[in-house]
Amino acid sequence: MRIALLQHACSDDCNTNVAKTADMVRNAAAHGAQLIVTQELFATRYFPQTKDDSHFALAEPVPGPTSTMLCALAKELAVHLAGSLFERCPSGAFHNTSILIAPNGRIVGQYRKMHIPDDPGFYEKHYFTPGQAPHVVHTDTGVVGLQICYDQWFPEAARLTALRGAQVIVYPTAIGWCAHEDATDRARQLDAWQTIQRAHAIASGVFIAAVNRVGVEDDLTFWGGSFVADPFGVIIAQAGEKDEQVLIADCDLSRIDQARQTWPLLRDRRAQTYADLTR
């Protein structure tokens, strides 16, 4: 499975962001990508940096204008496309949502971010109602697990996604440094971010793909570094910290069984002893 991760900066103008993403999707498809993944909330600047009720106007339904554009693009290019959106539900709730679109242009998966941060620069609890379960989509090129950004810090979430059959877990992401953080803190945060996701790959024998944005938006410097890790946690493709990039990686899915048979960790889970994880 050839996957492509779209790492870019975002401006104040949604139309420009969406057009840039569309260009990058075309670029990725031209390079033979079968699964193309956007960064988190690619259509906008990272608005949860502040609590501002006017930002709710950025949300849209699914289907809605952005998802319809993505569906048309996936169909035109005959690719699987995972897109991240600020979703407004008919129920009145708002979600941080990923959709997976099939090459026929239909939405075949929809996932609402389960873990919601609420820290300086990342006030997502102000906006998003959390989702209730990981979502896994069986496609004709592989099984895709949908997770989003902050989910990446929770081994339980990656494990649940893998147990549902995911072969590649994708994490559209928007993570960066606050202006006051020094070089040591910055290096440690980027390393921790990469380490914990590589560990998910190792623990469950799955591919992991994280897609982060770049650029400075107010107080935040997004650290890019989008990467793909193989089922033993080895990074097989990685983008830089500053550059916009269509990052391509070829995931040989046969390596999943190979990893799981050499290190049969899933065999040896003691699920009946894990009840306290749910309390």
State the residues that interact with its own copies by CB under 8 A: 114-119, 130, 132-133, 150, 153-157, 159-160, 163-164, 188, 191-192, 195-196, 198-200, 202-203, 232-234, 263-265, 268-279
Helix, strand, or coil here: 148? Answer: coil
Instruction: Report, in Å, the least distance between residue 117 CB and its own copies.
Output: 7
Query: Nearest approach, Cβ of 124 to its own copies (angstroms)?
Result: 10
CB-wise, 103 or 134, nearer to its own copies?
134
| Helix 14-30 vs helix 65-77: crossing angle, to nearest 10 | 20
Which of 20, 40, 71, 251 is labelled catalytic? 40
Q: For 146, what's the count of Cα atoms within 13 Å in the CB-facing half-sphere? A: 34
117, 135 contact by CB (below 8 A): no
**Closest CB to its own copies among residues 72, 192:** 192
Set 10, 71, 87, 149: catalytic member: 149
Is 149 assigned a catalytic role?
Answer: yes
3-state secondary structure of 156: helix
**CB-based contacts of 78: which residues, under 8 Å, 6+ apart?**
29, 103
Tokens of 16: 């420009």
Whichever of 241 and 263 has its CB closer to its own copies, that residue is: 263
Looking at beta carbons only, is 78 or 179 nearer to its own copies? 179
CB-based contact 134:161 (threshold 8 Å): yes
CB atoms within 10 A of CB 158: 27
In angstroms, what is the minimal distance from the CB of 249 to its own copies? 17
- Please identify which of the residues 113, 124, 217, 251 carries the catalytic annotation: 113
Query: Shortest approach of its own copies to residue 274 CB, angstroms?
Result: 5
Residue with Cβ nearer its own copies (72 or 277): 277
Whole-angstrom distance, CA of residue 98 vs CA of residue 159: 19
Report angle CA 225, 228, 231 to the nearest 5 degrees: 140
Smallest gap from residue 70 Cβ to its own copies (A): 27
- Is 35 in contact with 144 (CB distance < 8 Å)? yes
Residues with catalytic annotation? 40, 113, 149
